Structure 1
Amino acid sequence: MPETPVLYVLNGPNLNLLGVREPDIYGRETLDDVQALCEGAADGACVVFRQTNHEGQLIDWVQEARDTASALVINPAGYGHTSVALLDALKTLTIPIVECHLSNPAARERFRHRSYVSPVAAGVVSGFGPFSYELAVKAALRLAQEHRAAADRSV
């Protein structure tokens, strides 16, 4: 694990449309605003912030995180409810995973109530708009610190 923590913040489909897509649900902040919030909350950690509308690209980034990241925050968007392939990729990680959502999926349509990401995540932060990301970043970095301390003790 690197000396300076590396935090991957990965975003799934349609999050590039934040600020214009269903602002009554997702708010008026853009993805650039969310990125700035994450970087501000990272307290010196290196933030790798990415978004894609393509499932395979998201999986490639999860696999990349296996070798380079200290922790992962993921907003899988719609793929969280549909992608077994994403779940399989996440299961290969040994770093902390925090699932993040702007809205509260449990308060929305029934098909959003199931997440394929939640079973492998240390925790889920949802329903607080962009503040969900700030909380998720702080949680992921704390978990990474604890993970590293435990690894150091076992050596």
Structure 2
Amino acid sequence: MENKQLTVTTTVPVTPKKAWSYYTEAEHVINWNFASEDWHCPKAINDLRVGGDFIITMAAKDGSMTFDMEGTYDKVDSPEHLAYTLTDKRKVAVDFKGGGSETEVTITFDPADKQSDEQQTHGWEGIANNFKAYVTKMEGGK
């Protein structure tokens, strides 16, 4: 079986240190970690250290569906690199690269078996776009 990964990227208008905070702190995560406007993130618990666990709840706003994304951190190199393993054993890495006032955030992940690569990429792109919109709004942009 091939060990392919999928990647999505977004650029946010802040330094890597600020992007890291917006990406990892639970009080921020609940504001952007969902794929579309009909979903939200009612809960995020984050023990940001190697071996630490996280639980992020994503739910449909109409109450029809909810699920927890759970995992354990494998690497925490603030503010440049984050790697974790989801409870279904899929690996995810997040890299923050920037200089000055912009940071490129690249998320590389093992695809799940249940959905097509295209569906999964679309979902993760939605989350990345929400992250960018949230950071931009918090920084006074539109």
Q: Same fold (TM over 0.5)?
A: no
- TM-score, normalised to structure 1's length? 0.30
Q: Per chain length, whose mean CA-contact separation is higher, i.e. which structure has more relative contact order (CA < 8 Å, sep 6+)?
A: 2
User: Which structure is higher in strand share?
Assistant: 2
Name whichever structure is richer in helix by fraction. Answer: 1
